[in-house]
Structure 1
Amino acid sequence: MSLDPIVAEVTVPVTVTEAFVGFTAQMGEWWDPMLTPDAATFSGIAIDPNGPVAMVHEDEQYVWGRVMEWDPIGRYTQEFWLGHPEDEATVLDVRFTEAEAGGTLVRLVHSNWVPGTEEVREKYTHWADLLRRYAVHVS
């Protein structure tokens, strides 16, 4: 088992700013409801650029992160503890750069895994699938 960062990338046919907005403000529209506490009641994701990141299920919010950096022209970073304790928070760092062939390259790095979290890390196999859902949403 590994503690290496998990990396996933996708190129989307929109500007850097549009890619950023699609990833952050519209995350609840492309996130897979099956990766939430209750798919049937999932209604979105609430992100406070200066605070918490939460799954929204009807009137309930389940906080699973905290924004660390919010830069609409290139970077979104958050503490991440979905599926593991907050005191073992990992880091989700997403960079948005102009792609050589046009559009925007979105590079997601899920890091900060510490000894003892190897089994938790092994469960995070969905980033590439989520980025494909995101790409369809913003395209």
Structure 2
Amino acid sequence: MTIPPIVRQVVVGASASDAYAAWTRQIGTWWPLQRHSVYKQDTSVAFVDDQIVETSSTGETATWGTVISAEPPSSLTFTWHPGHGAERASTVTVDFVPIGADRTLVRLTHTGWEVFAEPLDAREEYRGGWVGVLANLRAALPPSSGGAEDVWLILEAAPGLAATGSVFAHPLFAEHLVFIDKLKADGVLVAAGPLPDEPGHGQTIIRVPASEAAGYIDAAHDDPAVAGDLLVLRVRPWHVMVPGV
């Protein structure tokens, strides 16, 4: 059984360079250490050379992971094993994609579930955990309410853990169609449909004011088909240079 990745994204109010720096150089200022750390009380976390290291108030250290590749300010990939040795490492990639002026889409992808004794339980726990982590990052770098320019977003959908048969026959897919109808009613839908060469995959393209991009991405994550793990959502900003209309 192939276990799908976790993919989660938020829009932050910063350039890609500043968002990348917030993750790599300022992680200790916004990471929710009381909920997601080894030592919990009076602890700190920082990148030390190529490692993510938590340090307790008594000087104990725990390595959370090691950088595999860094392409500032676009992408960072690291192993991930907080509270465990490197033999229990999964893999996390964080992409930083400009979206309009002074906004960045931060996309986190977590893979490698086979290292866990109970991979499905681990994935479910991290599905909720990463939501809180990215919410803290956005709170540290809140998007402004300004920005009248339009942005195009591709909402890619791949089969999730609940897709044990046909995605389109699953009851949650009807809820996905309700979400798409809402986009159409809002006047932001460009097109939507399945991809014939990839069974169970599809994409929806929307055109929204930059100031509303964060809200529409949140709504896409709240789509019952995505929240219910029928679909894995991957958001990609589209730099449209020649619009048809």
> What's the TM-score, normalizing by structure 1?
0.87
Bigger Rg, which one = 2
Aligned to 1:52: 51
* RMSD, aligned CA: 2.1
Mapping 1:55-66, distance limit 5 Å: 55-58=54-57, 59-66=59-66
Aligned to 2:38: 37
Aligned to 2:12: 12
Unaligned segments of structure 2, at least 5 residues: 143-245
Percent identity, aligned pairs only, is: 27
Q: Per-residue CA shift, 1:112-132, capped at 9, x if unaligned?
A: 221742332222121111101
| Contact preservation (8 Å) 1:2, 1:118 | no
Using the TM superposition, give the Cα deviation of residue 85 of structure 1 relative to its aligned residue in structure 2, in angstroms: 4.3
Paired letter, 1:137: A
CA distance in 2, matches of 1:46, 1:100: 29
Structure holding more strand per residue:
1
| Contact preservation (8 Å) 1:55, 1:64 | yes
Aligned to 1:104: 104
Aligned to 2:167: none
Q: Could you say if the C-alpha distance between residues 25 and 82 of structure 1 is closer, same or farther in structure 2, counting changes exceeding 3 Å?
A: same
CA distance in 1, matches of 2:63, 2:105: 28
Using the TM superposition, give the Cα deviation of residue 32 of structure 1 relative to its aligned residue in structure 2, in angstroms: 1.0
| Contact preservation (8 Å) 1:67, 1:79 | yes
Query: 2:77 aligned with 1:77, yes or no?
Result: yes
Using the TM superposition, give the Cα deviation of residue 57 of structure 1 relative to its aligned residue in structure 2, in angstroms: 1.3
Q: What SS does the aligned partner of 1:131 have?
A: helix
Aligned to 2:89: 89
| Contact preservation (8 Å) 1:11, 1:105 | yes
| Contact preservation (8 Å) 2:38, 2:83 | no
* Structure 1 runs (4+) greater than 3 angstroms displaced: none
Unaligned segments of structure 1, at least 5 residues: none
Q: What SS does the aligned partner of 2:21 have?
A: helix
Query: 2:135 aligned with 1:127, yes or no?
Result: no
Paired letter, 1:36: S
| Contact preservation (8 Å) 1:84, 1:120 | no
Paired letter, 1:4: P
Mapping 1:107-118, distance limit 5 Å: 107-114=107-114, 116=117, 117-118=119-120
CA distance in 2, matches of 1:62, 1:74: 27
- Bigger mean CA offset, 22-31 vs 78-87: 78-87
CA distance in 2, matches of 1:31, 1:3: 27
- Alignment size in residue pairs: 137
